[in-house]
Each structure stands twice: as C-alpha cells, then as structure tokens.
Amino acid sequence: MTRPVIGITLGDGDRPGYTSMRADYVRSVERSGALPLVLPTLAPEHAEAVLDRLDGLVLSGGVDVDPALYGRPRHPKLGRVDRERDAFELALTRHALRRDLPLLAVCRGQQVLNVAAGGTLIQDIPSELEGAVTHAAPGRRTRRSHPVEVVGASKLREILGAGPLSVNSFHHQAIDRLGEGLSVTGRCPEDGVIEAVEMKDRSFVLGVQWHPESFWKEPVSFQALFDAHSTASRVCCMVRSR
C-alpha cells in the first residue's frame, strides 16, 4: 500500500547555522505507517509547492510566535522568536487549511494554527494568568505534569477517549482569543488553559498544546493521535495519486 507522505516542520536549533528537531516527531510519524519528510524553513512563497508533495502536515514545537503577527505589543517575558519560521509555517498552515490537508499541530504548532486563523496568544502564562499551574515543567519529556479535560464531542475524544488525560507540558504561551473556525476540545481544568483545539469543518485539523510525540517508546502513549492523522493523510494520498 502506498504510504502517505507527512511533512514535519523544522526549527532553528541551538547551534547557530543548524536546523534541527526532536527525532521523536519522525519516529511517531514513522510508527503511524506514514513516511515522514522533514521540512526546513523556506521562503513562504515555496509553501504551496511543498504542500503539492505532501499528504499531511505536522507543525512541530519550538520558539515563541512573534506577537506582531497577531497585533499585540511584545510582552517583557516573550522568549526568542524566529520570523522566517513564523512566515513559512503561517503560509503552510493557511494553504493547508484551504486545501483541507490533514494537519496535526503540536505545542507551538497549535499556537501557529490559532494565529493563522486570526486568533491571539497569551505571551507568558505565569505573568498573565493568575493562579495558573506550571505548564513549563522541568524534567523528563515524558513526565506527565497536569490533567486535560476533554471538552464536548470531538475527534480528540474519538481518538483518546473521554479523559481526563494526563499530559506533559513544556510551554509558557497558550491560545488567548480563539481563531475563526476553531473549537476548544481540551482544557487544563485547574486554570482553564486551552490544551486542544479542532477545526470541525475540516476533515482533520487538530492541535494539542502538550507533546504527544515524546511518548512513542512508552507502553501508554498518545501514538493514536499520529495514527489518526496518518489515516486521514492516507485518504488524501489516495485522492492525490488518482
């Protein structure tokens, strides 16, 4: 059977001049039966040509999104931004949404998805959200640090069950005002932080604020998210190859 090709966006690594990502994304997509294709940051005008080769897209985690892109001034606690990556990922996301290409958006990816849909972000949870639990948890990538309540009928519920889920958390930003067409499907019950979203008028557009890719080696994992994305991408692959 033809394997769907799933693009995974890359960011700038900690070494200047290198582009890199956590191999966990590649392994999770490979395990799902799809072929992972890592995408370096390119000029945004290449987004459409890249998408022509893909059956699905994963937006990976990374640095903060430039608040200028959602019309807010910089908060003093804003972290590092990568304007080239923002521009390329926003172009990929907008065109993917228009094409109804299956999209799985992880952490920063969920934030990029929200900004692409016209939403805004909390730039720093600890200083902007009183009483928030720790979302930038130290320690192992598979350390589960807070619960997520699964809200309403959703793909998330179909894939992972009614919850509550127990997730890892490595973010200091989150969705503030929700973008157009997005629905909240998961929240941290302790502080209301949006942890999962979907675009219900698309065949598969799902964002999570935690890191499902970290668990691919674990007996209890979130692999089902990658598997469901791969299944949706296989449909795209069959349509495309006709």
Smallest separation (angstroms) from Mn ion to the CB of 38: 25
Smallest separation (angstroms) from Mn ion to the CB of 143: 12
Q: Which is nearer to Mn ion, 135 or 234 (CB)?
A: 135
Q: Helix 108-116 crosses helix 83-99 at what angle (to 10 degrees)?
A: 60
Smallest separation (angstroms) from Mn ion to the CB of 134: 9
Distance from the first to the final alpha carbon of the chain = 14
What token pair was written down for 185? 């499907």
Smallest separation (angstroms) from Mn ion to the CB of 209: 5
DSSP β-ladder status, 174-175 and 165-167: unpaired
Q: How far apart are CA 202 and CA 180, in angstroms?
A: 13
Q: Which is nearer to Mn ion, 36 or 62 (CB)?
A: 62
Q: Would you say the C-alpha torsion 64, 202, 223, 52 has a positive or negative sign? A: negative
Known active-site residue 213: yes
* CB 113, CB 197: distance < 8 Å: yes
Look-up: residue for tokens 């997520």? 148
Q: Out of 172, 211, 229, 236, which one is annotated catalytic?
A: 211
Q: Which is nearer to Mn ion, 169 or 223 (CB)?
A: 169
Q: How far apart are CA 34 and CA 46, in angstroms?
A: 23
Q: How far apart are CA 215 and CA 22, in angstroms?
A: 12
> Would you say how long the chain is, in residues?
242
Q: Out of 89, 107, 171, 229, which one is annotated catalytic?
A: 107
Q: Which is nearer to Mn ion, 135 or 155 (CB)?
A: 135
Smallest separation (angstroms) from Mn ion to the CB of 169: 3
Question: Which residues of the shown chain bind Mn ion in the complex (CB under 5 A)?
Answer: 135, 169
Q: Which is nearer to Mn ion, 26 or 148 (CB)?
A: 148
For residue 147, give the DSSP letter: E
Q: How far apart are CA 194 and CA 185, in angstroms?
A: 8
Q: Out of 213, 229, 236, 237, which one is annotated catalytic?
A: 213
List residues with catalytic annotation.
Answer: 107, 211, 213
